[in-house]
């Protein structure tokens, strides 16, 4: 009798397994070079595995989205699979990294019963997926599932945060995946991890439109899960610049039922240079919708805030006044800097964007700048803009070049839509936009190329919190997903242990050569000169180099990249190459291969001085002839770097 029961049980198990196998389907797509493969498994839910040869990089990650109570991804029913190849060269309207960007991938579109699709793309340097739906009318997005198992011994680098109210300026935290538990704070994208089998992985999102930004928290067992700020139903004003959600919906978005949802992408390589060089955030984003973009003029800007509007050796009282801004304009004109920013304080108050304080005559200041080839960008709180959308038309009449909008500090659906409304209205009036107090880039700067930079970074204005230990991760994480307004250029340089914030003297951690190199290493369509003209005049040689570094590039090459340790980058603008390197707390030599050059060239090189490890302002300028067949050996001090121009 027991034998019969055993046989019957075995038969039942076999039948169940056969039934499960019958409803389980697998489909795969590989990168153009055949190295990366993503295999999608459809059963009770949807999982995907990413491999390179026999190496498993991501194992059975899960994805789904729930619209108005219907979970797309639960027992999916596959209708058909459509395969295509994407192969195009994209010419960027604002070439902040490369003038031509290659978009080459194999695509697999899983068409499901019920009016939805799941699209996967496999690139040579990563994979991406998104949901596409064809539902009638308006739907609520109740939630989106993203479960990402990470090998327990992987090294994870993340920005932990306590709430969704976030300015994206947290320090990076480094820990083993198994150390990130359900009790740990959540974190925001991008996420970086290094697997035990040697792969570098960067996870982020793009084409985020009419949808909130993703955050991550632990689901336990070394697994990350997505979480999103809910849709705000009621808000309360706090101070002059914040609207704080006080009542939230039970859903994360209310949107059109027929649409494409954001891309979730992974940049994957054993070579960290590929992470730094990637352009996936850009190529997967929505193409430009503004038409002619020739009026957009990226460039450098003399900035007044970080240096406290200080000046010395002058015959006027420095401050937020017309004489000080004329001083900034004179400096910008002398060094070929295109813009100056008037930061907080230029207006009569933060609720009135149309009238200046009593010490500034705006029409006269604008004319003074234009006569010297320098345009003005105005700082505003986001709330001031929201309540005065007519200011874009008015500023166009004034002759303003752009706006720096600050303190959004949210990334829910309403705020994401605010960013797009701003960019669209600014584009109508030929105004550039720089967002501070902002989330990370997620594709909007391709759709609206007049959005030329975002903050969303722990930058120089954070004083002692900003040091090379954290900053050296930025090329691999934050700047790897789009332009970054870090605000470099401090001339009072100190080693990090000596950076004690002062109201009188703005200090910058890292050596002088390190600060100069940031202009080459960091990508931004609007690059700040953060120090006062008085300090730059005292350091004229360094100021001249900084002001000569372009903000747009024909070509970018990552020569060396070791996450969090050092990065060396070469960029070409026309017939000039700029090379920059930044280093961590360990002094090291690098041998820079110059084989990308043709023939002999003249080079001006700025390196750490022999005492830069103790006196961070110590640097050395060298002029020499270089050629393609002779590598360049350069020593970088601790927290040091180098910068060069070859022409």
pLDDT digits (tens, 9 = 90+) for 518-548: 999 999 999 999 999 999 999 999 999 999 9
pLDDT in tens, 106-160: 999 999 999 999 999 999 999 999 999 999 999 999 999 999 999 999 999 999 9
* Cα–Cα nearest to 47, from 69, 28, 33: 28
Task: Write out the two tokens for 121.
Answer: 């793309």
Q: b/e per residue, 450-481, with b = 16+ CB within 10 A?
A: bbbbbbbbbbbbbbeebbbebbbbbbbbbbbb
Helix (H) or strand (E) holding 405: strand 402-406
Angstrom distances, CA of residue 259 to CA of 205, 230, 281, 419: 17, 20, 19, 19
Is the pLDDT reported for residue 15 higher than 50? no
Q: Is 478 left (phi over 0), alpha (psi -120 to 50) or beta?
A: alpha
More confident residue, 11 or 418: 418
Indicate the angle between helix axes 391-398 and 362-371, nearest 10 degrees.
Answer: 50
SS3 9: helix
Q: Please, are residues 216 and 191 in contact by the beta-carbon 8 Å criterion?
A: yes
Asked if 422 and 133 count as a contact pair (C-beta separation under 8 A), the reply is no
348 is written with which tokens? 């009569």
Catalytically annotated residue among 406, 455, 531, 618: 406
CA dist 389 and 521 (Å) reads 36
Q: Reduced to 3 DSSP states, what percent helix, strand and coil does the chain have, rounded to the nearest 5?
A: 20, 40, 40
Buried b (16+ CB within 10 A) or exposed e, 179-199: ebeeeeebbbbbbbbbbeeeb
Report H helices in 315-439.
322-335, 362-371, 382-386, 391-398, 413-428
Sequence-distant (≥ 6) Cβ neighbours of residue 588 within 8 angstroms: 566, 635, 636
Q: What is the pLDDT of residues 451-470, one digit of tens each?
A: 999 999 999 999 999 999 99
Catalytic residue chosen out of the listed positions 143, 170, 461, 584: 461
pLDDT tens across 480-493, in order? 999 999 999 999 99
Percent of the chain with pLDDT over 70: 96
Interval 554-580 mean pLDDT:
98
Distance CA 406, CA 344 (A): 10
pLDDT tens for residues 74-93? 999 999 999 999 999 999 99
pLDDT digit string, tens, across residues 354-383: 999 999 999 999 999 999 999 999 999 999
Q: How far is CA 249 from the centre of its chain?
A: 29
CA torsion, ordered 414, 417, 418, 423, to nearest 10 deg: 170
- Of 640, 630, 638, nearest to 599 (Cα)? 630
Supply 281's token pair: 């955030």
Residue-level pLDDT at 502: 77
Residues in contact with 519: Cβ distance below 8 Å, sequence separation at least 6, in sequence order: 488, 489, 527, 546, 549, 580, 643
Q: What gap in Å lies between CA 366 and CA 357, rounded to an integer?
A: 15
Catalytic site residue 406?
yes
Q: Which of 343, 425, 340, 336 is nearest to 376 (CA)?
A: 340
Q: Do residues 299 and 434 lie in contact, with contact meaning Cβ atoms separated by under 8 Å?
A: no
Going by pLDDT thresholds of 50, 70 and 90, the confidence category of residue 6 is low
Q: Is 44 a catalytic residue?
A: no
Which residue in 117, 196, 210, 105 sits closest to 156, CA to CA? 196
Mean pLDDT of 69-76: 98
Rounded CA-CA distance 507/194 in Å is 33
What angle (nearest 5°) sits at the alpha carbon of residue 190, between those of residues 188 and 195?
115
- Does residue 61 have a pLDDT over 80? yes
Of residues 500 and 124, more confidence is placed in 124
| Res. 16 pLDDT band, cuts 50 70 90 | very low
Cβ atoms of 188 and 168 within 8 Å: the answer is yes
Residue 249 CB coordination number (10 Å):
16
Two tokens at 192?
A: 């970086």
> Phi-psi bin for 343: left (phi > 0), alpha (psi -120 to 50), beta?
beta
Cβ neighbour number for residue 228 with a 10 Å cutoff: 21
């Amino acid at each position: 009798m027991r034998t019969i029961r055993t046989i019957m049980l075995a038969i039942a198990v076999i039948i169940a397994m056969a039934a499960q196998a019958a409803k389980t389907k697998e489909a795969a797509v590989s990168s153009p070079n055949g190295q990366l493969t993503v295999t999608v498994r459809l059963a009770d839910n949807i999982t995907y595995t990413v491999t390179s040869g026999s190496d498993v990089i991501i194992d059975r990650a899960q994805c789904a989205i729930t619209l108005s109570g219907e979970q797309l991804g639960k027992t999916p029913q596959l209708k058909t699979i459509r395969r295509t190849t994407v192969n195009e060269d994209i010419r960027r309207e604002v070439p902040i990294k490369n003038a031509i960007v290659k978009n080459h991938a194999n695509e697999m579109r899983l068409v499901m019963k019920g009016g939805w699709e799941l699209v996967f793309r496999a690139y040579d340097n990563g994979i991406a997926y998104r949901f596409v739906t064809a539902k009638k009318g308006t739907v609520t997005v109740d939630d989106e599932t993203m479960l990402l198992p990470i090998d327990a011994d992987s090294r994870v680098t993340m920005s932990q945060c306590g709430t969704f109210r976030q300015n994206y300026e947290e320090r990076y935290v480094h820990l083993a995946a198994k150390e990130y538990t359900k009790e740990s704070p959540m974190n925001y994208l991008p996420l970086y991890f290094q697997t035990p089998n040697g792969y570098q992985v960067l996870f982020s999102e793009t084409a985020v439109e009419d949808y909130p930004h993703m955050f991550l928290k632990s689901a336990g067992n070394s697994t990350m899960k997505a979480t999103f700020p809910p849709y705000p139903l009621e808000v309360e004003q706090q101070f002059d610049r914040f609207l704080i959600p006080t009542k939230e919906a039970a859903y994360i978005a209310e949107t059109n039922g027929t649409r494409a949802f954001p891309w979730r992408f992974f940049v994957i390589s054993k070579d960290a240079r590929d992470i730094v060089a990637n352009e996936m955030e850009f190529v997967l984003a929505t193409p430009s919708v503004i038409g002619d973009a020739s009026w957009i003029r990226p460039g450098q800007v003399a900035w007044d805030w970080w240096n406290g509007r200080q000046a010395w050796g002058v015959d006027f009282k420095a401050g937020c006044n017309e004489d000080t801004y004329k001083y900034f304009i004179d400096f910008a004109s002398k060094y070929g800097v295109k813009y100056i920013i008037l930061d907080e304080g230029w207006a009569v108050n933060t609720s009135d964007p149309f009238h200046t304080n009593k010490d500034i005559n705006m029409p006269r200041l604008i004319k003074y700048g234009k006569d010297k080839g320098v345009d003005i960008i105005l700082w505003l709180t986001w709330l001031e803009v929201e309540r005065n959308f007519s200011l874009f038309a008015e500023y166009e009449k004034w002759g303003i070049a752009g706006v720096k909008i600050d303190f959004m500090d949210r990334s829910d659906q309403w705020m994401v839509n605010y960013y797009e409304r701003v960019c669209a209205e600014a584009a109508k009036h030929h105004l550039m936009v720089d967002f501070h107090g902002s989330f990370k880039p997620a594709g909007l700067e391709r759709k609206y190329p007049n959005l030329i930079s975002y903050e969303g970074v722990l930058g120089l204005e954070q004083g002692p919190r900003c040091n090379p230990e954290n900053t050296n991760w930025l090329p691999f994480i934050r700047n790897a997903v789009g332009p970054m307004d870090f605000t470099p250029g401090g001339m009072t340089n100190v080693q990090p242990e000596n950076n004690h914030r002062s109201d009188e003297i703005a200090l910058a951690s890292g050596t002088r050569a390190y600060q100069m190199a940031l202009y080459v290493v960091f990508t931004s369509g609007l690059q700040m000169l953060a120090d006062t003209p008085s300090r730059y005049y005292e350091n004229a040689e360094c100021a001249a180099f900084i002001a000569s570094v372009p903000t747009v590039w024909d070509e970018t090459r990552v020569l060396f990249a070791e996450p969090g340790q050092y990065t060396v980058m070469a960029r070409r603008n026309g017939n000039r190459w700029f090379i920059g390197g930044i280093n961590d707390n360990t002094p090291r030599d690098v041998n820079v291969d110059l084989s990308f050059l043709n023939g002999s060239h003249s080079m001006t090189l700025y390196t750490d001085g022999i005492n830069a490890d103790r006196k961070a302002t110590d640097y050395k300028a060298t002029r020499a002839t270089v050629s393609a067949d002779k590598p360049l050996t350069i020593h970088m001090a601790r927290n040091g770097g180098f910068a060069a121009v070859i022409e």
